[in-house]
Amino acid sequence: MTDASLHALVLVCTLKPSPAESSSQLLAEQVVAELEKHGASGEIIRVVDHDVRFGVSTDEGDGDGWPAIRAKLLASDILVIATPIWMGQPSSVCKMTLERLDAELGETDDEGRMLTEGKVAMVAVVGNEDGAHHTVAEVLQGLNDTGFTAASTAGTYWVGEAMQGTDYLELEKTPEKTASATEAAVRNAVHLARLLRDSPYPASA
């Protein structure tokens, strides 16, 4: 079943501003391609291209780039965080993004639900060292804490062989395991987003 009304926002947390090539951007584009196969649309934003300020509010003022991104997030059904691994950790841009989402803990609708409740979370990770499972777990936990729901197999990743310098975007072909993980994560995210849209979480007591 497809549903073109479902929309995903993909936040790419590379350290590289556009138009620099980015493995995280490439995996994000592959996620969007899978979303389209399943009848959903997707938009990619490279966070570092915007003047997003450090902070834990919905708007840090003085030209903060986060409010415009947040508006797109709140209008979406699925949020995908795509991040590289640095020193076994999500990128600093990814961590800043999670810190900005902390503000959602204090934002609720008229029935007491966080505005992010009912939205589905997915994580895409690339790197040249161990840490993909740790990074997926850390990011999904942060997203779950701030109202998002993770479907089954909610992460896709690629990590290269240790102590070598090949990037994901330098591969001649997408590895089958990564491609199948991306397809499964997207398929399940779209399914869950449809269910949550049609049957929202109960209101706060």
In DSSP terms, 89 is beta-bridged to 86
Give domain limits for the chain.
7-198
CB 14 within 8 A of CB 48: yes
What is the spatial distance between Cα 178 and Cα 172, in angstroms, rounded to a whole number?
A: 14
Distances in Å between the alpha carbon of 50 and those of 38, 68, 88, 149, 189? 29, 10, 25, 26, 27
Kindly tell me the sign of the dihedral angle through the C-alpha atoms of 145, 148, 152, 154.
negative
And the tokens for 34?
A: 């899978």
Could you report the per-residue pLDDT of 103-149, keeping only the tens digit for each? 999 999 999 999 999 999 999 999 987 789 999 999 999 999 999 99
CB 139 within 8 A of CB 81: yes
Neighbours of 136 (CB within 10 A): 23
Q: Dump the DSSP string for 33-96.
A: HHHHHTT-EEEEEEGGGS-PPSSSSS--STT-SHHHHHHHHHT-SEEEEEEEEETTEE-HHHHH
Could you report the per-residue pLDDT of 151-198, keeping only the tens digit for each? 999 999 999 888 788 999 999 999 999 999 999 999 999 999 999 999
Residue 2: pLDDT over 60: no
What is the spatial distance between Cα 119 and Cα 76, in angstroms, rounded to a whole number?
A: 7
What pLDDT score does 172 carry? 95
Would strands 89-90 and 78-86 be described as parallel, antiparallel, or unpaired?
Answer: antiparallel
Residue 1: pLDDT over 60: no
Q: Percentage of the chain with pLDDT > 70? A: 98
Domain 7-198 falls in which CATH fold?
Rossmann fold (3.40.50)
Residue 205: pLDDT over 80: no
Distances in Å between the alpha carbon of 158 and those of 40, 47, 52, 117, 176? 23, 21, 27, 29, 11
